Amino acid sequence: MRKPPPPASVPHHVAIVMDGNGRWARKRFMPRLAGHRQGVESLKRCVRACAARGIQVLTVFAFSSENWNRPEDEVSGLMELLGKALAREVPQLHADGVQLHFVGSRSGLSDGVRQGLDEAERATQGNQRLILNVCFNYGGRWDIAQAAAALAERGEPITEASLSGAMALHHVPDPDLVIRTGGEFRISNFLLWQSAYSEFHFSDALWPDFDEVALDGAIADFASRERRFGQTSEQVQQDGAC
């Protein structure tokens, strides 16, 4: 079995665009929803792997605000899949020490789905092993707009610090590593504000095929990068030597 990377090289916060469920299903002559079901299994595997490797925060893009434009049967199937996943998976996530947050607008969701999200967050709020943010009905532009609107409503000045504090992910630090599966090379309106200094890793694996080996490859890629945050290489090396 492949050994996880050493702790010093592991990012604190990993964010993932889980792309490729529909293509995975199409390659197998299956309905798209079958790919989404398999994607849930991949997410469960990824949550366990992240916790085992010492990652503290995992944020995943489950349903974007643009996904409402997909065929009606796929959207309704995704909503049903979410409801079933909440009922089936939350008890185990709670037992595993995972703290759940559902990040995004609750408008457009049924009362039953909203209640399920609220209950899952309440049940797991004291857990500390891993924070799992599920971005559902989320968009990066929505996030910036809602943060600015909240500050304006409170009469607070809009600064970088105040906007960060009003963002939907204000409870966690910005992601160190953003992974996109499915062989695409775009951000798709995901964490536009928070990923300003993130490292990006693009995987050809379709999300249902993204496994521990693929995760370790992304972590190793991250560990090989020099993160300068506007400094020169010499400054970073000097700071690291101190």
Active site residues: 19, 67
In this structure, are residues 189 and 66 in contact, taking their beta carbons and an 8 Å threshold? yes
Tokens of 201: 């890793």
In this structure, are residues 209 and 27 in contact, taking their beta carbons and an 8 Å threshold? no
Residue the block writes with tokens 């899952």? 120
Residue 58: C-alpha distances to residues 19, 156, 169, 178, 222 (Å):
16, 30, 11, 10, 15
Which of 31-70 are b and which e, b meaning 16 or more Cβ less than 10 Å from the residue's Cβ? ebbbbbbbbbebbeebbebbbebebbbbbbbbbbbebeee
In this structure, are residues 191 and 178 in contact, taking their beta carbons and an 8 Å threshold? yes
Could you give the CA distance from residue 62 to residue 22 in angstroms, rounded to a whole number? 13
